[in-house]
A and B are shown apart, each in its own frame.
Chain A
Amino acid sequence: MLAGSILLFLLVVGLFLATVFVPRFGRSISPRNWIIGGGIFLPLPILLALTFYALWQGEYLLRGGGGFPLQSPLRVEAHGTMWQWRFSYPDIRGATPTSGTLHIPTGRTVEIRVSSSDVIHSFWVPRLAGKIDAIPGHTNYLRLRADRPGRYGGVCSEYCGTGHAGMRFVVQAHTQEDYLAALAEEGGR
């Protein structure tokens, strides 16, 4: 997409400069061909291909990154309030809710149920997935998967008041073996 955009940009600006400064440039092309060629035949195939590719890619992301999931995703809940995120783990028996840090296992698709009870927030971990809004009165779902253990920064990306800039959180990805222990340790604190 980037390379294509650079090419198209250079093409249009180049044509503008050429038609202005190079005498008789492009005069052999009839006005009709200019308009039909540049206005219809140039953009349409690109847009069609791009739209279908984006549709396919969107479906892929909605599944949570992997192929068709063989195992059911691990469900966690993210609840936004002014101005922090609280996470709970309905699929893990006995896990206590956490604030500011979401613990997930690696190598498994995680389905996050995103909600809010005050204003609109948006849940975003740039390195793991796209964003989804937390809208009072609605629940939204986002699937993501971390392949490597580590800390992934997250932010609220919908303006939600004066604490918006500080409404950051961390996604901590643990290997499958360490995961339950890490959650238990949170509960012990």
Chain B
Amino acid sequence: MLTVATGNKAVASAVKQACPSVVAAYPITPQTEIVEQIAEYVTSGELKSQYIAVESEHSAMAACIGASVTGVRTFTATSSHGLHYMHEMVNWAAGARLPIVMANVNRALGPGWNIWAEHTDAFQERDTGWLQVYVASVQEAYDATLMAFRIAEHESVLLPVMVNMDGFLLSHSMQPLQNVDIGDFIPPIHLPHAIDTSHPAGYGTLTGPEDYFRLRWDMERSMRDSVAVIRETQEDFAKRFGRKYDFVEEYRCDDADVVVIAMGTLGKEAEVAVDLLRKEGLKAGSMRIRWFRPFPHLDLSGRDVVVIDRDYSFGFGGVIARSLAATERVTPFSVIAGLGGQEVTYDDIAGFVRDRRPGEELWFGVNGNV
């Protein structure tokens, strides 16, 4: 049924559909509404899960790990400082090949205290072995959460998946939400290495370099194999429920001379900027990167590229701009914008594109507006 929901409620609603056996979570702004809603579902009996109200995010992920290794479906949600407090266990979950699904509501890191949207929190987890998807609407938050379970639990993936959405801009934005009856879209979980007392085994024991290396390669192989699984899952989702998703959402790119690239809600706002620029006669297009790990291939040849990073890697640059410079051999105009929830409008984005200076980096609102 079509209703109105916040991004947080949409995620909780998808989790209810996926019905994890164990949810372990700790509150943090702006994610709290997810865990509150799940706790309510569990209390009312709408969701038959064990809800563990842990005392920290480190313990939230540790509890998910302990539950997941028994072979059951698990979920948690966090944000920003919470994500970083659990960082050690975020690595552990991926290395242990546990298909945990986590919603991360992107928020800036302190100090100073800032509760608004930024992608640096999750980008700093990029090398942990988690798959990461970034959404740009409440509906997409719901859809991506459902797909996350199927992708994570697929036998050729068995890696955890992080669903990211912009703090407040999505987590607290009320938008139309079409709930679906998922039927058998997510098959029952089968973890081949689940703990079995009739076949005792050691998990995560001391491992020498040769075996360790092989296990790391195995993670990367699964990360690469996940591409086909993501594609197949998104196609099946479109077939069943009518909503199409890709690794990158392209908008008016076919004949574009200049492409603006962004993630999350800025990727949607960029579409409006593209319409504006097209009216002015500039052949602009936009690409919204949805899957950040595995990192996608973008067709940028022969085009001017403007990248908006709502993140920063100090001493290096905007993470997406620098990544694309390396993977696609382009020389983007790198715009750092939206940090700590900075307001960025479609007019601003159109301005970035009009006044693009390939190879340069602009800190929006700091070293000169364009």
Mutual binders A and B: no
